[in-house]
Amino acid sequence: MEISRIVESLKDQDWYEGQIEHLELLPERKAEYGQANFDERIKSFLERKGLDLFSHQSRAIKLINEGRDVIITTPTASGKTLAFNVPVFDRMLNDSDSRALYIYPTKALSQDQLETIKDMEADLGLDLEPRVYDGDTPRDQRPGIRKRSRIILTNPYGLHHYLEWHHKWKDFFSNLDFVIMDEIHSYRGVFGSNVAMLVRRMERIFDHYGSDPQFILSSATIANPLEHSRKLVGREFSLISEDSSFRGRKKFLFWNPLTNPDNSAHNQTSKLMAHFVNHDLQTLCFTLSRRLAELISEWCSGRTDAPVRAYRAGYRPEERREIEEGLRTGEIRGVSATNALELGVDIGGLDAVIISGYPGTITSSWQQAGRAGRGREDSLVVLVGFENPLDQFFLKHPREFFDREHEHAILDLDNPNITMGHLACAATELPIREGEDLRQTYSGEIDALIDNDVVQDTPNGAVFSGTYRASGAVKLDNINETTVKIIHNGKLLETMDLAQAYREAHENATLLHQGKTYIVKDFDLEEGVAEVRWKEVDYFTQAISESDLEITRQLEKKKAGDVVVSFGEVSVSEHYSHYKEKKYDRVLDVHPLELPPLEFDTECSWFHVPESILTNVEEKGLGARGGLHAIEHAIISLTPFYAMCDRWDIGGFSARNPLEEGGSIFIYDAYEGGIGIADEVYELLENLLERTYELVMDCDCEEGCPSCIYSPKCGNDNDPLDKEAAVYILEKLGERFVY
Ligand SMILES: [Zn+2]
Ligand SMILES: [Zn+2]
């Protein structure tokens, strides 16, 4: 049956209550082809495979052949891999010493890409011994790989530890011609900032061995590919961003499950999936959690005879291979997966993709949507929006989804909590000499390391003198901070950062872990350990906190209309004073908590709401504090609209200032030292406030709801909130900001 008829037939289902909010038709696009110069043997390889180069691929190959550093940001399935494999193999064919290092963000991706590279190697009759080198590589095989393999695939976590032993990599590093970094949009935030420092460490080692490899990067579409590449690697890049591959027609449906409140969003997702599978559409459903990936496939299986599977990180590699293979051959008809399948794993094109819950970024959404479409066939994508501000905002404003630019990937190279650890690593790897880039950029940090006896200045440069292993003290996806171990019966159940432990692991807190409830018996703050006991109870706990915020340094200031917006450093302290025992929404009991305040310094953007507006609010009998607090929540929920982060990365604070001086709203990075989000908020505040106004205005609720001003992370239990006051304040601010 045709896709449009399958969509129409949804309306005949007894669970259809007008969920289709929008239908977008994405037209077909013709392919454009191009030419590039390379070895005859590669030409015949491409012919044998029936591959014609698209013009964006041939442009990329030309630029790489000219010796440029290149970033390619075309969509899924547009042939990015071929665009960098061709010039790499071309060099390998003509220079028997040449080496290439491929870096992927995950182990699974390295394994997947190894197959593609081996295939090309075999076909070309080359002997490059391409190998994966990571934590799973047996120790006894490692020396041979370092010596003989001309293509090594690895990940940043591994490299971070290998660099210290660079002398063992001498042959490889001194002949290194290419560094390929794939999926660089995943190098953002804390992880990305760490990887950027790691790349700087790599470059000084390459330099030490006299090599100067070209960097070839690839990424999903982001708003700032050139800036992001420059920050990640510290060089200027040439950009290939136009996609000239063929694209079939696509129908893109927005599905609002809230119109049928008797059926949960997850339930509707599984019904949609079963409906498509039963109409012979091979379907991939993306879910927001591992648990949902399992549940959706289970529920869907109950509604169809066709083979349906779940797929997520944590499965054994053989299991994953088998599912990928089943998708490629068409044997498996439906898969529900976490975003583990969003990155470049090769599964061929599918007929339909369901995105169950907005995945947090436009970039991810299009990555996932890009899995739909094979050859000339039409394909279908459904976005199921959940009950939260971003999802509902897009359902109501489809143009904001289809016409908008992708998010900015953010990196921070100045957060000492990140840079100091890497500088210590760098000083372990090679002395940091006077005049070196690193020394000049981070002179203050290096002096501080010297003062703290972590690094010692010698005639040869600064060397590590600490009593611990420098790389062991740095976690790439974490800011150096206290972690709390959750212990059950003497065994480690999980770890969490201190802020999360304050919320979820205080004494007598209920803790959910893989569907089971535990009660915290003891929380030892000094040791960083919480002991839990398994106990089924019919309530949950919620810690309540008050925040305090102090501006320590104002760094920038601008006028937007006649509103003053500032950016600077703040000191935040959160006081967890008590916790509630709740059943559904009902509070059963309230208990005091005795915990020292949680304090951290971070970056913040803030603006002032004039007194005249707030006086008017109060004269109307509305709550000024509730209005400011509501706006703070709504801004936080929409910040991921611009910056690649999620709302848990951002904190907020709002206050009705004393002495009739109006009010203030603060948006800060929830990480010690900051990672660049508040900076982005400062740049984009006018835009952000306009979206916030639309969000709050357009929500159908009377007094606020999870789709507009409620926040799941509010320390104050969403109190006070005043939607009407928020709308009024935003309207008046709009007149001043002119949005
Ligand atoms: Zn609402
Ligand atoms: Zn709040």
> Amino acid letter at 109?
L
Choosing from 473, 493, 512, the residue where a domain stops is 473
Instruction: Say if residue 352 is in the same domain as residue 296.
Output: yes
Mean pLDDT value across residues 399-405: 88
Instruction: Say if residue 551 is in the same domain as residue 527.
Output: no
pLDDT at 494: 79
The parent domain of residue 666 ranges over 546-575+594-737
Instruction: Provide the domain count of the chain.
Output: 5
Instruction: Say if residue 502 is in the same domain as residue 460.
Output: no
**pTM for the predicted model, two decimal places:** 0.84
| pLDDT over threshold 70, residue 514 | no
Instruction: Say if residue 345 is in the same domain as residue 279.
Output: yes
Instruction: Say if residue 488 is in the same domain as residue 623.
Output: no
| Ligand with minimal distance to 716 CA | 2
Instruction: Say if residue 491 is in the same domain as residue 448.
Output: no
- Which whole-number Å values give the CA distances from 138 to 134, 141, 148, 151, 506, in the listed order? 9, 6, 16, 18, 41
Q: Cα(10)–Cα(629) distance, rounded to whole angstroms? A: 41
Span from the CA of 417 to the centroid of ligand 2 (angstroms): 27
* Residue 467 placed within a domain: yes
Which tokens in the block code for residue 658? Answer: 């004393």
* Residue 589 placed within a domain: no
Instruction: Say if residue 176 is in the same domain as residue 297.
Output: no
Instruction: Say if residue 560 is in the same domain as residue 693.
Output: yes
- With bands split at pLDDT 50, 70 and 90, how would you rate the model's confidence at 515? low
Q: What percent of the chain has pLDDT over 90?
A: 70
Higher pLDDT, 203 or 704: 203
pLDDT at 737: 66
Instruction: Say if residue 385 is in the same domain as residue 368.
Output: yes
* Residue 409 placed within a domain: no
- CATH code, domain with 17: 3.40.50.300
Instruction: Say if residue 681 is in the same domain as residue 631.
Output: yes
| pLDDT over threshold 80, residue 77 | no
* Residue 293 placed within a domain: yes
Span from the CA of 651 to the centroid of ligand 2 (angstroms): 9
pLDDT at 290: 80
Q: Report whether the peptide linkage leading into residue 720 is cis, meaning its omega lies within 30 degrees of zero.
A: yes
- Which whole-number Å values give the CA distances from 622 to 609, 627, 630, 728, in the listed order? 16, 8, 13, 10
Helix-strand-coil percent breakdown of the chain, rounded to 5? 40, 25, 35
Choosing from 402, 434, 453, the residue where a domain stops is 402
Span from the CA of 354 to the centroid of ligand 2 (angstroms): 32
Which is nearest to 719 in space by CA: 729, 733, 709, 730?
A: 709
* Residue 305 placed within a domain: yes
pLDDT at 658: 81
Q: What is the DSSP string of 66-110?
A: TT--EEE-PPTTS-HHHHHHHHHHHHHHH-TT-EEEEE-SSHHHH
* Residue 382 placed within a domain: yes
Higher pLDDT, 585 or 549: 549
Span from the CA of 83 to the centroid of ligand 2 (angstroms): 48
* Residue 478 placed within a domain: no
Give the environment of ion ligand 1: residues with CB less than 5 A. Answer: 699, 701, 705, 707-708
Instruction: Say if residue 234 is in the same domain as residue 253.
Output: no
Instruction: Say if residue 262 is in the same domain as residue 171.
Output: no
- With bands split at pLDDT 50, 70 and 90, how would you rate the model's confidence at 480? low
| pLDDT over threshold 70, residue 91 | yes
| Ligand with minimal distance to 705 CA | 1
Residue range 605-636, pLDDT digits in tens:
999 999 999 999 999 999 999 999 999 999 99
Residue range 7-48, pLDDT digits in tens:
999 999 999 999 999 999 999 999 999 999 999 999 999 999
DSSP state of 408: B
| pLDDT over threshold 90, residue 478 | no
* Residue 627 placed within a domain: yes
Average pLDDT, the chain: 92
Mean pLDDT value across residues 400-414: 88
Most confident residue range from 290-294, 536-540, 575-579: 575-579
Are 599 and 701 contacting, i.e. CB atoms less than 8 angstroms apart?
Answer: no
| Ligand with minimal distance to 630 CA | 2
Choosing from 240, 266, 281, the residue where a domain stops is 240
| Ligand with minimal distance to 712 CA | 2
